[in-house]
Amino acid sequence: MVDLSAAGRGLRNLWALSLGGGIAPRHRTDSIAIATGDHRTVRRYADDDQVRAAREAGRMPVLLVPPIAAPASCYDLSADHSVVAHLRDSGRVPYVLDFGAISYADRAMGFGDFITDIIPEAIGRVLDDYRAPQVDLYGWSLGGTLSLLTTAAQPVQTRRVRSVVTVATPLDYNQLPGYPLARALTKPTGGMAPTVLLRLLGGVPAPLVQVAYRATSWDREAKKPWFIATHLGETETLRRMETIDRFQRDFPGYPGRLVEQMWECFIYRDELVGGVLDFDGHTVDLADIDVPVQLFGSHRDALCTWGAARHGVDLLSRSPHLQFTTVESSHLGLLAGPDAAIHTWPAIDDFLAGVDTLVTGAVAPT
**Residue 127 maps to a domain:** yes
pLDDT at 10 over 80: no
- Dist. CA 136–CA 355, nearest whole Å: 9
Whether residue 301 lies inside any domain: the answer is yes
> What's the pLDDT at 23?
66
* For residue 215, pLDDT beyond 80: no
Q: What is the pLDDT of residue 207?
A: 64
Cβ atoms of 193 and 186 closer than 8 Å: yes
pLDDT of amino acid 87: 98
b/e map 176-191, b = 16+ CB within 10 Å = beebeebbeebeeeeb
| Domain count within the chain | 1
Determine, yes or no, domain membership for 268.
no
| Phi, psi angles (nearest 5°) of residue 142 | -65, -20
Higher-scoring residue by pLDDT: 56, 21: 56
DSSP single-letter state for residue 332: T
| pLDDT at residue 222 is higher than 80 | no
Q: How confident is the model at residue 214 (pLDDT cuts 50, 70, 90)?
A: low
Q: Residue 243: which pLDDT band, with cuts at 50, 70 and 90?
A: confident
Q: Is residue 218 part of a domain?
A: no
In tens, the pLDDT along 298-334 reads 999 999 999 999 999 999 999 999 999 999 999 999 9
Residue 85's domain comprises 31-176+283-359
Residue 214 covered by a domain: no
Strands (E), 123-202: 135-140, 161-167
Residue 361 pLDDT grade (very low, low, confident, very high; cuts 50, 70, 90)? very low
Average pLDDT, the chain: 87
Indicate whether 122 belongs to any domain: yes
User: Element (H or E) spanning 228, and its range?
Assistant: helix 218-230
Cβ atoms of 136 and 355 closer than 8 Å? yes
pLDDT of residue 365: 33
Strands 254-255 and 203-204: antiparallel
Q: How confident is the model at residue 270 (pLDDT cuts 50, 70, 90)?
A: very high
User: What average pLDDT does this structure show over 46-64?
Assistant: 97
Q: Residue 365 falls within a domain, yes or no?
A: no
Q: Could you read off the pLDDT of 97-135 as tens digits, one per residue?
A: 999 988 889 999 999 999 999 999 999 999 999 999 999
Q: Is residue 161 part of a domain?
A: yes
Q: Which amino acid is at 203?
A: G
Domain of 93: which CATH number?
A: 3.40.50.1820
pLDDT for residue 7 is more than 90: no
- Under DSSP, the state recorded for 59 is P
Task: Indicate the range of 21-25, 209-213, 293-297 predicted with least confidence.
Answer: 209-213
CA dihedral (121, 127, 130, 135) in degrees, to 10, reads 110
The residue-averaged pLDDT of 140-145 equals 97
Task: Quote the pLDDT of residue 189.
Answer: 79
